[in-house]
Amino acid sequence: MINASLSVDAATPVAPVHRRTFGSFVEHMGRCVYTGIYEPGHATADADGLRQDVAALVRELGVTTVRYPGGNFVSGYRWEDGIGPKDRRPVRRDLAWHSLETNQFGLDEFMTWCRRQDIEPMMAVNLGTRGLQEALDLLEYANHPGGTHLSDLRAAHGHPEPHDIRMWCLGNEMDGPWQIGHLDARSYGRKAAQVARAMKMADRDLELVVCGSSGSTMPTFGAWEATVLEETYDAVEYISLHAYYEEHDGDLASFLGAVTDMDHFIDSVVSTADAVGAKLRDRKRIQLSFDEWNVWYLSRHQALAEVQPTDDWQVAPRVIEDQYNVADAVVVGNMLISLLRHSDRVTAASQAQLANVIAPIMTEPGGPAWRQTIFHPFALTAASAAGHVLRADLDAPVQDTAKYGEVDVVDSAVTHDEETGRTAVFVVNRSVDQQVALTVDLRGLTPTEVTEALTLADEDAYAANTMDDPDRVVPQPNKSARLDGGRLTVTLPPVSWTVVTLSSRTR
């Protein structure tokens, strides 16, 4: 048994809990859209072809925002193809994912889905094969009230009220050589700045996200952010971050410690952004949009791509449909802890993706939908985190990892909502074989009782949920949680994610 303690400083909140932290991502990739959220003819589909079994799971997941329509897909996308009568919409080749796009689901269908799910849209514009004029046209179609060609066209398509999209991404991963229309940092920065300033001439209240590095291992990381922000600092509110992690060669300990790399990534981008602000003598603080994050077994996908034929163009092929296990869910829960801990600067995030493609929700065409293991930490964090993130000092032993060096065995975040008196403690045990006895000093919050304690763990760290056994892995009550004199004690199994919620006297 490993001993660890956490001391919570109730008087020093880090930042509010941002609802945009619990965003997701819908890209026209694989089966995310087609047979994912949209499947006309499915037994649960409504009149617009939207799967209601999936819609119910999305609500349970607690998704607040959704980034759309990409991703790599957006860099070759013509948004006009996805509006108007469906029998007139063209079928196009998508070069990013080597598939056929039918355009039966487009902007208006997406906005209908968002409204019914009470989800805020986060729209991406194509800065790969397109640019300024196309972005302005899309903005006019989406947001202008009426009386212009494109706003009237939207009304003619059955949407008289503007979609009123506030948050926009200026392209996607433009630092990546794989990206259609890839640019160097200076060229992209100037293009993004031009588009950003013009979009704000049309609507000054937009919130714009400029592309940061597509990963902290990119050779241009750091220099890319600095150069792009030098060009765009006055015109944008956010810079993006993307990160994916996977277990390599059976090294579970390193995988469980991967979030230390995510922490360093965030801190590095914050430092770079603030350095540019100082250089430009601009007191504005750029916020971070971590708008792609997840566990993704990318190496498997790359190995498969090497042997797949290149002349087979399909509609909604099965690609990157990773099956997630307990360890994956623990890392996802830990990534959410990192996002909460950095809520002073990371004020928006999008888990990639929502359905089927590296996703918490899986579906079968014409069949059921079910929750992957990673569904549970996301849903419980979204439901439990409220109020403010509090500063918490950890005292825990470290363990050695081959990839990340010494890593704390425990990682945690704590939130507290003064209005309701609710406190939530989120914690992971990264040890592969040892239990942790954790003590949390909450006396400054005057807690009165433990209202719920749930742990996601299993004797088999590689256990997974499937269509035939969709509830093989679910969070279970942690009966060890005790509150005594303002101190919470709880035992954490190895390779586990836990949330404990407590009630407190409101002030």
Nearest partner of 229 among 306, 288, 309, 156, judged by Cα:
288
- DSSP string for 260-311: HHHHHHHHHHHHHHHHHHHHHT-----EEEEEEEEE--HHHHHHHHHHS-SS
Looking at the structure of the chain, the number of domains it has is 2
CATH code of 242's domain:
3.20.20.80
pLDDT of residue 121: 98
Residues in the chain: 507
- The span from the CA of 339 to the CA of 6, in Å, is 18
CATH code of 435's domain:
2.60.40.1180
- The span from the CA of 34 to the CA of 104, in Å, is 9
Name which of 11-15, 34-38, 286-290 the model is least confident about.
11-15
pLDDT at 93 over 70: yes
Q: Which domain holds residue 276?
A: 18-384
Cα-only R_g, the chain = 23
- The span from the CA of 315 to the CA of 229, in Å, is 38
Name which of 46-60, 225-239, 306-320 the model is least confident about.
306-320
Last residue of a domain, one of 384, 413, 432: 384
Q: What angle (nearest 5°) sits at the alpha carbon of residue 74, between those of residues 238 and 84?
A: 115
- Do 344 and 400 belong together in one domain? no
pLDDT at 383 over 90: yes
Task: Tell me the pLDDT of the chain averaged across its residues.
Answer: 97
Amino acid at position 43, single letter: A
- Do 370 and 396 belong together in one domain? no
- Do 216 and 325 belong together in one domain? yes
The arithmetic mean of pLDDT across residues 165-175, rounded, is 98
- Do 378 and 392 belong together in one domain? no
Helices (H) and strands (E) in the chain, counts: 11, 25
Amino acid at position 500, single letter: V
- Do 205 and 172 belong together in one domain? yes
The arithmetic mean of pLDDT across residues 314-327, rounded, is 97
Task: Give the phi and the psi of residue 394 in degrees, each rounded to 5.
Answer: -100, 135
- Do 413 and 266 belong together in one domain? no
Please say whether the beta carbons of 472 and 466 come within 8 A.
yes
- Do 294 and 408 belong together in one domain? no
pLDDT of residue 308: 60
- Do 167 and 229 belong together in one domain? yes
The arithmetic mean of pLDDT across residues 190-207, rounded, is 98
The arithmetic mean of pLDDT across residues 105-124, rounded, is 98
Cα dihedral 242→100→154→166 (10° resolution): 0
**Contacting residues for 122 by C-beta, under 8 A, at least 6 apart:** 23, 65, 66, 67, 68, 165, 167, 168, 169, 209, 291, 348, 350
pLDDT tens per residue, range 426-471? 999 999 999 999 999 999 999 999 999 999 999 999 999 999 999 9
Last residue of a domain, one of 349, 384, 419: 384
Residue 133 gets which letter from DSSP? H
Helices (H), 118-251: 132-143, 149-156, 185-202, 223-232
Give strand pairing partners of 422. Answer: 417, 503
- Do 359 and 401 belong together in one domain? no
For 402-495, list the strands marked E by DSSP. 405-408, 410-417, 422-429, 436-441, 447-456, 476-477, 482-484, 487-492
Q: Calculate the CA 73 to chain-centre distance.
A: 17
- The span from the CA of 275 to the CA of 268, in Å, is 11
Q: Calculate the CA 179 to chain-centre distance.
A: 20
pLDDT tens per residue, range 299-315? 888 876 665 656 789 99
- Do 404 and 351 belong together in one domain? no
User: Which tokens go with 491?
Assistant: 């035992």
- The span from the CA of 507 to the CA of 504, in Å, is 9
Please say whether the beta carbons of 32 and 101 come within 8 A.
no
Q: Which residues of 349-369 are buried (b: 16+ CB within 10 A; e: fewer)?
A: bbbbbbbbbbbbbbbeeeeeb
- Do 393 and 465 belong together in one domain? yes
pLDDT at 401 over 60: yes
pLDDT band for 12, please (50, 70, 90 cuts): confident
> Which of the residues are catalytic?
173, 292
pLDDT at 405 over 80: yes
pTM surpassing 0.85? yes
> What is the percent of the chain where pLDDT is above 70?
98
Please count the other Cβ atoms lying within 10 Å of the Cβ belonging to residue 306: 7
Task: Give the phi and the psi of residue 123 in degrees, each rounded to 5.
Answer: -95, 140
Last residue of a domain, one of 384, 404, 422: 384
pLDDT at 506 over 70: no
- Do 403 and 321 belong together in one domain? no
pLDDT at 507 over 60: no
pLDDT tens per residue, range 241-269? 999 999 999 999 999 999 999 999 999 99
pLDDT at 271 over 80: yes
